[in-house]
């Protein structure tokens, strides 16, 4: 989500300043605090919260757990 605007020195990407501001807002949105608050609320409601590592999570098959780049469908 915070990747830079694509482009080269000869042809820079569009809206680079806006993208930089968006990146700053995303990175400063306190995800750690959100995790703490969610855990607190879940504990009060006697619910289980499991933290899952995000690495390859969108490519991993939910049925068998196999990870491959072709597991993620591409939009047509």
| pLDDT tens sequence across 57-69 | 667 777 787 777 7
| pLDDT tens sequence across 18-70 | 878 888 888 877 778 888 999 999 999 999 999 888 776 667 777 787 777 77
- Residue 74: phi, psi to the nearest 5? -100, 145
Q: Is the dihedral of CA 12, 16, 19, 20 positive or negative?
A: positive
What are the beta bridge partners of residue 67? 60
Its pTM stands at: 0.42
Most distant CA atoms of the chain, gap in Å: 57
Q: Which of 2-6, 13-17, 39-43, 61-65 has the lowest mean pLDDT?
A: 2-6
Q: Which of 4-8, 41-45, 72-76 has the lowest mean pLDDT?
A: 72-76
């Amino acid at each position: 989500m915070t990747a830079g605007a694509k482009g080269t020195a000869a042809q820079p990407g569009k809206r680079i300043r806006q993208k930089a501001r968006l990146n700053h807002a995303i990175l400063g949105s306190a995800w750690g605090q959100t995790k703490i608050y969610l855990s607190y609320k879940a504990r009060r409601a006697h619910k289980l919260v499991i933290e899952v590592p995000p690495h390859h999570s969108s490519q991993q098959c939910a049925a068998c757990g196999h990870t491959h780049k072709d597991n993620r469908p591409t939009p047509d």
